[in-house]
Every structure is written in structure tokens, then in C-alpha cells.
A and B are shown apart, each in its own frame.
Chain A
Amino acid sequence: MNLRWRMFQAFATAIFVCISASTAFSLNLPITSFWAQRKVTSGKFPIHSACMMPPQAHLARIGMKGAEGMSKESEAWAATLEDMVESHLKSDGIAINSAINPLSSGASNDEILSVASQIQQKFASVLPLMRRKPGGIEKSAYTLGDQVGMLPCSENSDILVFVQGVGQVVTEGRAATTLLFGGPDEDAVLFITIVDAKTGEIIGFIQVYPGDASLLNAEDAFGQKLYQQFADMNIGSARKNAKAQGH
């Protein structure tokens, strides 16, 4: 009896450890995925126009002696990522505006930058929690407040789009070492956050990990996966386009 009980305990513990480990592992796996409110996926919140917040991207080069900055490349990469997201949105029938464009508001550049910086501040305070519990998006848990309505582009836009990319590339020497002994490899992640341009509510969040292509070629690295995420999320005519193309 005693032996049976001990065997049961050992078995139960092993099962518990396996489940815990696999759950923890799967939660942190670099899997491309999205979270969105039902009104978006169901098409009850039609998206015809988007307002792009200034993109943020950070790239580093890892060599044999640690990391080196790639500031210029980062700036260029940010612009490339923004262009890629914009072109996908446009191909899904969505009109694009820039968040820092004064349009016909008559406001000065400084005033708009100040509002944009205030919104970024709020976004930065919400982001850690949202990345921790992205499921909260479906329950309307996260909002930037209706101050997003202060951006001139919000008047004629349905959504505000935040594009953020973080990546690392490795030098040839480092790549060879990694191949032999393991270690850091080329990697990146692209985050796209979609916000209701009138209420400030966060209605969608996409994280995309790249394919095998070079990070610097954004379309090859992220394009196909992003296309699929937009279709699954039902952004603009993305789902219709995907169906038409047989995806």
C-alpha cells in the first residue's frame, strides 16, 4: 500500500512537472499570434482608415565581443517596417495618414509632437501589462483614453497604429560560433498595436516573428505572416483578399 502510494505520488509529481514546464514553455514560445476584440474579428468595427504613429525600432549587431549599436540601420529599419505595414493596410483597402501630420488643424508642429509624446507616454505605461496579459484586449481592458482624439488625423481615421520592432543580427564569426557551440542568433520581433482612434481603446495586438529571410528585408521576413494575421483579424478587406487568393 505504502509502495503504491509512493508510486502514485511520484507519478503525479512527474505529470505536474511536465505540464507546468510545457505550459511555461509554450507561453514564451516565439509564435506569431494576435489578440483582438470580437467587434474587430466579426467585422462590426469596420476599418477604412488608419493613422500611423511614429515607428520605433531597435537593432543590434552581436559579435564575438558583445553587442554593437546599429542606430542608422535601426532608423532605416523602422521606416521599412512602417512602409511594409502601410503597404499591407493599403492593399487591404485602408487609407493611411500620419499621426504627426497637422492636416488642416492649424496646429503647430510642436503642439502635435507634444500630444504625440503624451500618447506615447500613456502607451508605454499600458504596454508592459498588455504584453503580460494580451488576453485582456478581448475584454477591453486597455485604453489610452480619448486624448488620442487630439491628434488631427483621428478625425478621419478609424484606428491608430503603433509599429515597434526589436531585432539582433550576428556577425559571421558569431554565427559560426553559434553554429558550433550555441548562443545568440539572428532574431527579431515585430509588434503592431491597433487602437480605436476615437476612444483610445486598444482593440488589437499582433506579434510577428520573422521567417528565414534577412531581417533587413522586412517584407520577406514578416510580410507573409503579417498578411495572414491581418486576414485572421479581419482588418479591412484582408480576409476577403485572402479567400480570393485561396488562403
Chain B
Amino acid sequence: MSRTFAAIFIFVILGHSEAQQPSVPSQPAPISVHASEGPGARFQFTKVDDNLRAEADAVDAQYEKRGLVLHDPDLQAFIDTVGNRVLGDRPVLDKVTYRFLVLRDPTVNAFAMPNGSVYITTGLFALLENEAQLAGVLGHETAHIYERHPYLENRSIRKKTVATEIIAAAAACVPGGYATWLATAAAANVSTLLMVESVYGYSREMESQADRDGLAAMTVAGYDPHAMAVAFELFDQDRTLEYEPRPTLYHDHPDLTKRRGDAVAFADAHTPANARIGVRTDYVHAVAPAIVSNINADIESRRPRSAVACATRLVDAFPGDPQHQVLLGDSYLALGAKTTVPTPDELTSDGEGKQRKQVLKMTEQEEQKALLKTPEGQATLKENQTKAERAFLAAIESNPQYALAYRDLGFLYQDESRFADAATNYTHYLQLVADTSLDRLRIARRLAEVEKLQAAQPH
């Protein structure tokens, strides 16, 4: 029964959004117009709005308490600089404190809360290529806040008295990142499903308006709006790399091709001279902590192809960094018998169905087992293991004191039943790592296990 209600719930939410008439593209207004006449300045709060804001504050607190917000001083300084540039001369809104926060979540997404908190997932940081694209995303999200979309959408839904069983929605199985699951579950917590709307996208009309305002804001801040058009292309390409059980805001809401077309049209008409895009390597350098966190999250969330793509990007940007080499090796290990990019078969509609089945009906181990039944799967596993070994050895060459390289090389050798080599590397790791390391006990257990297996192995 709960699944049925969940399906109805999702249908109601999506259906409601889809039912809106698409807006006719209009000439984008310059940001200065909003500064004096925007809806933010005229908005009258009701008790319902105050409750909604209090709920958003509570969600902020929950994210912090659960360690889902990534805190890195340099990254924070970078995102604050870009965010404040995009905010520009917008007046300070009543009951809004803009905060730009990094959420540890591998899904590609960003969302804004009515209280002014803007969350960008590590997945989105890892996908973007330069500062201007980030400015475009922040422009879009701050526009939602500035236009008071969360409050307006909340009021609109309340008027419709959507009768849904919240419990069914919150308890529904929504695959994705942990934070996304929490956000969906928090639909039960936040007044009239605000969270689902804000995380998965508002009505088509509101999204189009946020696109227009975001493009205007980034342009006024001196960024090239063409970058946002390229970002839309990236969102579209990303969809082909991993199966996405739930499409997020930037995937189909509204259609990405149309959004890209609108962005290009705007950019062609409004790009200022000396507009900046930002150097690609500077961006990667600035957001590296988010990418590193995201690779780990990708690996934990069955997104090994994204992990390999991200890690490769880091290694290309910083060839001598052992941490990135190890992450690349870990990503190849997680990939197992899967190819780094989808095969042509996987991109067909049949292939997509198969991928859906693999994600929703099979565990990671079952999926790998199924792949290893074919000679192609076995060959791919071998190839990925070789690449992983190469990456770990490169890390050791860059820095022979880098403990994690030995540990993960041990993991690889243990998988390959090379127990003596695994034992050597685990021992090396335990010699190098600090006594306070949380991983000591786990590796000591593994060492004992491989030594036992080694002793049992015929010579």
C-alpha cells in the first residue's frame, strides 16, 4: 500500500509541475530591475510562511548534525566569493540570510531553501568545469530565493490541499545519495512537501524564471552566460554515464535542450566585453576538496563510472598528487567488471531498462557476478585491476610514505587472491599510519585474515 501511495505522491508532485503551461521566452530583464522592484521586497509573510522558514532552519541543523555539510575553509571562501558576486546589488531580503553550502552527495543537484541556504552537492561541483558555470548555478538558485519561490509554491500546494500520505512518501525507497534520501524523507518534516519541490525542482514556470534571472545575475557579475549553456550540455551528458533512479532539477525540468537554447539566445544578446569564464585548472584546484569527497561518495553509492571520471580529472590536473592517484585506483577497484563508459548496448532503451534492473533489483555483488559470467566482463575486470595497480604504484612512487596507497594496494591483492603481497602491503600501511588512525583495527583484522588464507594456500 505504501508503495502505491508513494507512486501517487510522486505522480501528484511531478504531474502538478508538468501541468504548468510552459512560459514563453521573453527578453531577460537586467538584474538592476529586480533590485528595486523584485517580489522579494513586496512579499508579505503569513504564519504559514514563518512555519516553513522554521522548518528550513531545522533541515539546515539536521544536515550539520549528521556531518553532511562539507567544511573546507578554502573551498568555502571560493564559493562565498562567487556567490556574493552573483548576488551583486540585490537588496537584503527580509528573513533571508544567504549561505552557500557544500553538501556531501554524489547526485548532480543544487537547491535553495526559503531561509537563504543554498546547497550545492559535491556531485555538481565535480561535474562543472569552471567558475562561470558555478556562477550560473548559484544565480539560478539565488533567484529562487529572491523570487520567494519556496513560499509561493508552498502556498499554491496548500490551496490545492494535496491529500497525500506523507509516511508513504518518506518511507518510499528512493535510491540516490544519502542526503537526497534524507531530503526526500524530510518531506515529512517540511511544510507541504517543500523539500521535494525544492530538491527535485519547482514548477516549469518558476524554473524558467530562475533560469532567466540567474543568467542575468551572472552576466551583471561579469561572467560569460555562454558558460551556463555549456553547463546544461554537461548535465545532459552526465545522464548517460550512470543510471539515475530519480531525475533531479537539472536533468529534465524543464527540457534541457530548450533551456540550453534559451541560455544561448540570452548569451548571444547580452554577453559583455571582457566577460570571464575562469581557468579550468583554477576551478579544479579551488573545488578539489569537494571532488575528493564526491569520489568517495560515488564509490559508496554505486556510481563507479562517475568516480573514475572525477578521479581521472583530478589526476590530469595534479599529476604528482598521491591522494588523487589512490582515489583513481579505488575507483577502478569499485568499477570491477564494468566498463568506464557505457557500451553502445547500454545506451539503447533496452540497455537502459537492464541498467535500471541492475540498480533496483540487484546488489553490487550480484551485478558484478552477473557481469563476470561473460568473457568480456572477465577481461574488463582484469583491465580495471591492472589500471588500479598502476595508479597505486604511481602514488607510492610520488610519495613512498603515503600510507593509503599501501592499504589500497593490499585491498587489490586480496581481491586477486595474492595473499602474500596483500599481507606485505597491509604491514607496510600499519607501520606508516598514525596510532590514532581509525583504520588501524580494520586493517589489522584484514592482515590476520590474509595471513590465515596465505597459510592455507597450496605452495
Contact = CB atoms under 8 A, between A and B. Distances in A.
Interface of A: 25, 28-30, 54, 56, 58-60, 62, 64-72, 74-75, 105-107, 110-118, 120-129, 131-133, 136, 141-143, 146-147, 149-152, 154-155, 166-168, 183-184, 187-189, 198
B301 A64 contact: no
Contact of B178 (A54, A115, A117, A143): A117
Nearest to A120: B178
Given A28-B3, A149-B442, A168-B188, A125 B300 contact: yes
Interface stretch (B111-119, B137-145, B156-164): B156-164
Given A117-B178, A127-B173, A150-B438, 14 more contacts: A68-B51, A71-B55, A75-B62, A106-B435, A110-B71, A112-B438, A113-B67, A120-B178, A126-B363, A129-B362, A141-B363, A146-B442, A150-B441, A166-B171
Contacts of A150: 438-439, 441-442
Contacts of A115: 438
Interface in B121-179: 157-159, 161-167, 170-171, 173-178
Question: Chain B interface secondary structure, helix, strand, loop or mixed?
Answer: helix
Contacts of B165: 168, 184, 187
Closest 5 CB pairs of A and B: A71-B58, A113-B67, A128-B173, A149-B442, A106-B436
Contacts of B437: 107
A161 to B, nearest CB: 17
B157 to A, nearest CB: 6
Given A141-B363, A155-B441, A71 B59 contact: yes
A184 B174 CA distance: 22
A167 B2 CA distance: 12
Given A166-B185, A168-B188, A198 B436 contact: no
B161 A64 contact: yes
Contacts of B363: 126, 129, 136, 141-142
Interface of B: 1-4, 51-52, 54-55, 58-59, 62, 65-68, 71, 104, 157-159, 161-167, 170-171, 173-178, 181-182, 185-193, 296-297, 300-302, 360-363, 365-366, 435-439, 441-442, 445-446
Nearest to A108: B436
Contacts of B177: 121, 124
B189 A74 contact: yes
A124 B158 contact: no
Given A113-B67, A121-B300, A107 B438 contact: yes
13 contacts: A54-B65, A65-B161, A66-B158, A66-B193, A74-B58, A107-B437, A113-B67, A122-B300, A124-B178, A129-B360, A129-B362, A141-B365, A150-B441
A59 B163 contact: no
A121 B445 contact: no
A222 to B, nearest CB: 15
Nearest to A73: B189
A118 B296 contact: yes
A101 B454 CA distance: 35
B66 A166 contact: no
A65 B71 CA distance: 38
Contacts of B161: 64-66
A132 B446 contact: no
B7 to A, nearest CB: 12
Contacts of A114: 67
A114 B174 CA distance: 23
B175 A125 contact: yes
Nearest to B52: A69
A141 B366 contact: yes
B55 A149 contact: no
Contact of B51 (A28, A69, A111, A155): A69
A146 B436 contact: no
B267 to A, nearest CB: 37
Nearest to A100: B67
